[in-house]
Structure 1
Amino acid sequence: MDTEGARCVDVVRAQGFCFVHGDAMRTTLSGVGGLEDWLAFAGSWEALGPDPYLARTGRARKRRHAVFSAARNGAVVRAPHQPHFQTTEYNALQGDIERWFDPVTDAVADGACLQTILRYCVGFFGALAPDVERWKVEVHQFRIEARPGEAGEPTPEGVHRDGVDYVLVLMIDRRNIESGTTTIHLADGTELGSFTLRDAFDAALVDDARVFHGVTAVTALDPTEPAHRDVLVVTLKRG
């Protein structure tokens, strides 16, 4: 792990979260593996499917989902496609239902970028939990669109925990939008910090067992033009 990675481990250990600027994050990831397919990786957000479950609440979001299994010192292996499930304790809006989303494509799952990001997550969060032998890793590609007269909601469930151990949120692309500020809170609502993922590779590293997080709604700077916020979310749970 490089110096920046070690610093971030200490920060997460101390306060439960860490914001990493894109340049530093890209350098750290490059030390783990290749990123040569970044343009194709980022371009895959153009082919996300709708979130039919959120549509039932009158909201809009696009996404794809995949599950992997990762040994502490071994390979990251994709698991059979399966639903995403959270209890109402963690998702009052959509809890206690099995949600099936379009799968992450094989090209993305097997590509250099995602494999590098997954190896990084296993190494980074593994340093915070060295007793864990195996992780269940879930990958979510999200696109939040801001439409004329309608703000996009990155976290429609509000300030929340995901019900996992650790979370990486990585900015992929942010186009023609304002706001989208991430806030970190204690269980009693006390705000610990805030930051905005603006540039590619900007990242949030979160100890989900300790802190809550939310993201403010996004609106279009120019309502006549397309506006979106694309992020990759990777969660790790003791498996």
Structure 2
Amino acid sequence: MPTTLPLPMSQLSDEVRREGFCFVTADVMQPLLSSMGTLADWPDFAQSWDHLGPDPYLAAKGRFRRRRHATYTAQANGTVALAPHQAHYQSLQYNALQGDIERWFEPIDPAVANSGSLHTILAFCNDFFSTLAAHVADWHVEVHQFRIEASVDAAGEPTPEGSHRDGVDFVLVLLVDRHNIDSGTTTIHTPDGKPLGDFTLAHTFDAALIHDPRVFHGVTPVTPLVPTEPAHRDVLVVTFRAKP
């Protein structure tokens, strides 16, 4: 198991230990990812957001977004492997809007789930989060592709459940694309609501790294800059939870 991280990763891990989160700009994040593996297939990876299915559970609440989901297993600082497709579950404690139900989403396309870009992202997460939790031997990993669409009639809601925790150990939120949208500001709070910081994922590869047990996070609604044109915010969310 490595005992040190490259300097930028070490600085980021120190910030997460100290603050419970950090915002990573694209000019830092993209080289860090490239140091872990290939991003050669990134254009195809990003284009896969054009083929996400609707979230039927959110639609039942009168809201709309698109998503796909996959699960992996990871050995700390080691192998990451795709697991059989399974439900996504959160308790009401962590998701007051859709908790205590098994939610079955369309699986991430196999070509995307096994792509070089996604495995590079997962390798980065495994190294980074395993260093922050050296006692963990194995991880349960979930990957979510999200597209939030906005129109002149309805703002897009990246976090319709409001400021929340995900009920995991660590979270990566990575911006893949944003087109013709305004706002979408990430806000970080203490459990009692004290604001700790805010930032906007504005460029491809901008990212947030979050120690979920310590802080709450949310994202403000997005609206179109040009009302007559399509508008969307595409993100990849990766969560790591220690296996018992």
**Length, aligned pairs only:** 239
Scaled by the length of structure 2, the TM-score of the pair is: 0.97
Distance 1:41 1:2 in 2: 26
Please say if 1:22 is aligned against 2:26.
yes
Find the counterpart in structure 1 of residue 61 from structure 2: 57
Distance 1:156 1:9 in 2: 29
Distance 1:33 1:73 in 2: 14
| 3-state DSSP of counterpart to 2:155 | coil
Please say if 1:73 is aligned against 2:77.
yes
Q: Given residue 174 of structure 2, which amino acid in structure 1 is its aligned partner?
A: L
Find the counterpart in structure 2 of residue 143 from structure 1: 147
C-alpha RMSD of the superposition? 0.6
Find the counterpart in structure 2 of residue 34 from structure 1: 38
Preserved contact between residue 77 and residue 130 of structure 2 (Cα < 8 Å): no
Q: Give every structure 1 segment of 4 or more consecutive aligned residues whose post-TM-superposition deviation is greater than 2 Å.
A: none
| 3-state DSSP of counterpart to 2:121 | helix
What is the deviation of 1:74? Answer: 2.2
Distance 1:5 1:106 in 2: 30
Preserved contact between residue 178 and residue 202 of structure 2 (Cα < 8 Å): yes
Please say if 1:7 is aligned against 2:11.
yes
Aligned counterpart for 1:44 among listed residues 48, 53, 69: 48
Q: Given residue 189 of structure 2, which amino acid in structure 1 is its aligned partner?
A: H
Find the counterpart in structure 1 of residue 102 from structure 2: 98
Q: Given residue 162 of structure 1, which amino acid in structure 2 is its aligned partner?
A: D
Q: Given residue 134 of structure 1, which amino acid in structure 2 is its aligned partner?
A: D
Please say if 1:112 is aligned against 2:137.
no
| 3-state DSSP of counterpart to 1:143 | strand
What is the deviation of 1:27? Answer: 0.4
* % same residue: 62
Superposed, 1:152-163 pairs within 5 Å as 152-163=156-167
Please say if 1:122 is aligned against 2:116.
no
Aligned counterpart for 1:177 among listed residues 176, 181, 188: 181
Scaled by the length of structure 1, the TM-score of the pair is: 0.99
What residue ranges of structure 1 are gaps of 5+ in the alignment? none
